[in-house]
A and B are shown apart, each in its own frame.
Chain A
Amino acid sequence: MRAASEEYSLEHQKYIKLFAKISIFILALVFLLLPGILREDEQVIGDKPYYHLTREGEFSGVGPGWNFLLKYFPMNILLPIIGLLSAFFIFLNLKMLKLEERLLITGFFVISPAFVYLFSVGERFGISFLFTLIACYFLLDKKYLFAGISVVFVSLFDIWIGVFVATIMLLYFLFKYNKGKIFYSLIIVFFLLTIILGDFNPGIISDLGAKVGSSVFAILFVAFSFLFFWNRKKFISLYAIAGLLFLFSLKVEFGIFYFSLFLSILVGLCFFELLRIRWESKLVRDLILLIFVCGLLFSGLSYTNRISKDKPDDVFFNALNRLPDGAVVFSDMGYGNWITYGGKKNVWHSFMSREEAEIISKDLSIVLESKDYAKTTEVFEKYQVDYILLDSELKQKWHESELVYLLKYDSEGFRFLFEENGIEVWRFFR
């Protein structure tokens, strides 16, 4: 009787686990497809993917591997597949680490804004992230050659992510083979370099308007759990790593994805631990955990909704299509890649080197701040501008700029061409 009962119990657990796995898979699929479903236009979300799309098939520029791959695989199919594979490899990695909470952690990550961004916006980071996970899997499985090859692949998609992953692997080896001194020295160097180099990017919480960031509820949950677990050695080291990655993500663009993953791990661990510890009122415990889960879901869904409304739209490309191919169009820096994708030439774009962008910004500040027609003409002639394109957002952003004044009142140099669904195009006569 008892044996039958145990057998039933084991079987029952097996089905529950299977059900949980299927649920996580569906959840991942929903969060991967939702931005596309909610989006009114067919256009790819964001500005940077257009850089890669313009260079599809080329093994050059930023993210050469990703540029190359896009020729053979359509971006909108590739991204969900990479997303699902990433979720799968997160699960496998956590299994290798023998973490009981692996399903929950995977679930928390797939509903995070970072996951939505990685696999909805066709930047090179998604594929790099997948290969990072593959590298980690091979590393944990002690197949070092494959791990090394995976790191090389990561470098093909983004050299700096490759360096980052290689450093993490080095740290792993040092830790594993008890090279404490070198390990901690490297950690300190890593910490100092993170602090010294680059500028701080304060926007890393998606709920507070960051373009890509972590859920404020995940951060709050981890901070809240710290009150319970601050005296446990295991958690202290996890919190230290999270802190380091947090600092890293404040400085480095791709850091937020790795921080978000680690945050999800920490959230999962804390979640289970909070369930395990003794509570005076189980009602309060359940309500708190429920609120946090709702909060995490809310962050993910609200970010998905926000990202689905992101630019560009058909209206922008329709306006661009009315201009002759090869013409130089001046607009905001963030529109540069769209202009190139639309078959025109831009003045600046978001993938420029910092030095290059600074020079152009300096020149264009004259255009935006000076009412002097001669100076504006000089800059526009320098960059061989043919057209000026403004949408409603840009008009608001530049509403006090002198360029808008000149466009309105200087009919000699500028001629209004057309206005289509809020997009205005002006001709500049060189």
Chain B
Amino acid sequence: MQVRRNHRILILIFLVVLSAELYFSLQTPYLDNSGYLVERYTQNVLETGKPLFYDTLSYNGREVLYSPLWHYVLAIFGLVFGSFAFKLVPALVSSSIVLVVYLLSKKIVDNDELALFIALMSGFIPVVFVDSLISASVYSLAIPLMFYLIYLFMDLNEKNVGIFLTLSFFLSLLHPVSILFSLGLMVYYLLSLSENMKIPTLNLEVMAFTFVSTFLIQFLIYKKAFLEYGFSVIWHNVPSQILWSYFDFDIFGMLYRVGALTLIFGLIGIIWGIIKRKDRIMLLCGFALATLILLWLRLLEPRIGMMFLSVALVVASAFTLNLFLNYLGKTKLPHYRLSFIMIVLGLIISSLAVPSFVLASKHIKEDVPSGYELLVLRWIRENALPDVTIVAPLGKGHIMTALAGKRTVLDDNFLLAPETSERYGDIERLYSTKSEVEALEIIAKYNIDYVFIPIETELEYGKVKWTDDESCFRGIFFGTPKVYQVIC
């Protein structure tokens, strides 16, 4: 009976999280910049059945490297749900994190109520919650999958080893973040070695398998990038001007996006787990440490690192909360126990849910194209010649290619893109220069036909003066954004 009740509550939590995600994501019919990239690649799968490996629009035409598995998953759902799949599938798989975290927490503390509470917490981690709304992000699947693998790893036996191997292979195929999984296992191994704790042989063997298969698959998929950049592939060919800010880690932002109390409870859980030599906590610690090391070395985008770190911390906080509840039971405050617990739990939830909702509202308002922007882009799609090139700032590249259907000079899909630093520098100069001669030089260099000036750019660099020359630039739209056609 108790089990059934817990399962019902768990399903309810899952539905609450799913509803919350869909509530926000369906407030806008649009996607964000990265979402449009996913949409375009998925559309290609739907139209041709094949992944897009030569993108004629990005960077005026360039080769692209990625694993198309996620796009195939979306395409399958897209056949049934159409464009709604880009909102539904990420929300669905992202919400499943509550199920995975429930299983993990139960394994760590063996307390059903607490596990359910931790599951609820995991559904509202701000950084994870926001990512699955309008980005059609692959991480919405990669995160639950990775933590499910951790769950399987905790209790590995002859029966589930096959499932582990299959899913681990699937994760490697899905996204390079599987490297983080392998590294996490490696750190766990080292930690156990240092603590003189014995890891079962089967676990060691699957660790080896995970490491080897991840390495092979990443090499197969990203062979060209490895050949082109060698070890520098870890910097993803990010333009040198933004390399450091791209990987910049903001500790205060982390407090807000991960949840301050989650961070505190999670860290206490991990430290306490290590002191008490708890094997399962040690495993989580391995992942948290691997993520932190990658973040510290600036090898992982902070946003992505924080997503994985926050889930690990939420699971680890189960250990702290369990200790806390046990301690309360031993104190002379049994009468106040319930209210005390409610306050603490309320605080935790509000430290997660409130930032989640605030960030989500902001995200769906600010990161999608505005109505006017959409009008402009539709006009370009319908009226400009098919092979024209539009220049837009870095953050608008995928929106341009997806909605206007025209070539762009630059976007944030840097891997294998040509001369990213040079292009980034040129585009910055184009928007900031006062000299028409300099602007025309850049325009000629990239065969630019239309100049797209969003409000953000004008706020950053001020008014773009050289567009005033009517003999060279014909104004098409003068609101926000402005669009000029190059006519000279």
Contacts and interface: CB of A to CB of B under 8 A. Distances in A.
B202 A281 contact: yes
Contact of A292 (B201, B212, B226): B212
27 contacts: A203-B230, A208-B227, A208-B231, A209-B229, A216-B219, A224-B212, A280-B201, A280-B202, A281-B158, A281-B161, A283-B161, A283-B162, A283-B165, A284-B208, A284-B209, A287-B213, A288-B205, A288-B208, A288-B209, A288-B212, A291-B209, A291-B213, A292-B212, A294-B216, A298-B216, A298-B220, A302-B223
A295 B219 contact: yes
Contacts of A279: 201, 205
B272 interface: no
Interface in B209-235: 209, 211-213, 215-216, 219-220, 223, 226-231
Main secondary structure of the interface of B (DSSP, over half): helix
A203 B208 CA distance: 27
Interface of A: 203, 207-209, 216-217, 220, 224, 227, 279-281, 283-285, 287-288, 291-292, 294-295, 298, 302, 306
Most chain A beta-carbon contacts within 10 A, residue among B208, B209, B230: B208
B345 interface: no
B223 A285 contact: no
Interface residues of B, number: 25
Contacts of B201: 279-280
Interface string B147-188: 000000000001001100100000000000000000000000
B209 A207 contact: no
Contacts of B202: 280-281, 284
Contacts of A288: 205, 208-209, 212
B264 interface: no
Contacts of A292: 212
Contact of B216 (A227, A295, A302): A295
A294 B223 CA distance: 14
Contacts of A287: 165, 209, 213
Contacts of A227: 208
5 interchain residue pairs of minimum CB distance: A280-B202, A280-B201, A284-B205, A208-B230, A209-B227
B384 interface: no
Contacts of B212: 220, 224, 288, 291-292, 295
B216 A209 contact: no
A306 B208 CA distance: 30
B230 A284 contact: no
Nearest to B227: A209
A207 B215 contact: no
Contact of B215 (A203, A220, A281): A220
B348 to A, nearest CB: 40
B216 to A, nearest CB: 5
Contacts of A283: 161-162, 165
A227 B227 CA distance: 28
B133 to A, nearest CB: 37
B15 interface: no
B206 interface: yes
A17 B220 CA distance: 32
A306 B215 contact: no
Nearest to B220: A298
A175 to B, nearest CB: 34
A284 B210 CA distance: 10
Nearest to A205: B230
Nearest to B230: A208
Given A207-B223, A284-B161, A295-B212, 4 more contacts: A208-B230, A209-B227, A291-B209, A291-B216
Given A207-B226, A208-B230, A280 B219 contact: no
A284 B228 CA distance: 33
Contacts of B209: 284, 287-288, 291
A284 B165 contact: yes
A203 B200 CA distance: 38
Contacts of A217: 216, 219
A295 B216 CA distance: 6
Contacts of B230: 203, 208-209
Nearest to A303: B227
Given A283-B165, A285-B205, A208 B226 contact: yes
Given A284-B161, A284-B206, A306 B227 contact: yes
A298 B219 contact: yes
B146 to A, nearest CB: 19
Contacts of B211: 224
A106 B227 CA distance: 26
A111 to B, nearest CB: 15
A302 B222 CA distance: 12
A209 B226 contact: yes
A294 to B, nearest CB: 7
Contacts of A207: 219, 223, 226-227
Contacts of A302: 223
A337 to B, nearest CB: 24
Nearest to A216: B219
Contacts of B215: 220, 295
A248 B28 CA distance: 62
B167 to A, nearest CB: 14
Nearest to B200: A280
Nearest to A208: B230
A295 B231 CA distance: 18
A294 B200 CA distance: 28
Contacts of B213: 287, 291
Nearest to B169: A287
B79 to A, nearest CB: 33
Contacts of A291: 209, 212-213, 216
B284 to A, nearest CB: 23
Contacts of B219: 207, 216-217, 295, 298
Contacts of B208: 224, 227, 284, 288
A285 B202 CA distance: 10
A312 to B, nearest CB: 20
A82 B59 CA distance: 46
Nearest to B158: A281
A288 B216 CA distance: 10
Contacts of A203: 230
Contacts of B228: 209
A406 to B, nearest CB: 19
Nearest to A284: B205
A224 B208 CA distance: 8
A28 to B, nearest CB: 24
Contacts of B205: 279-281, 284-285, 288
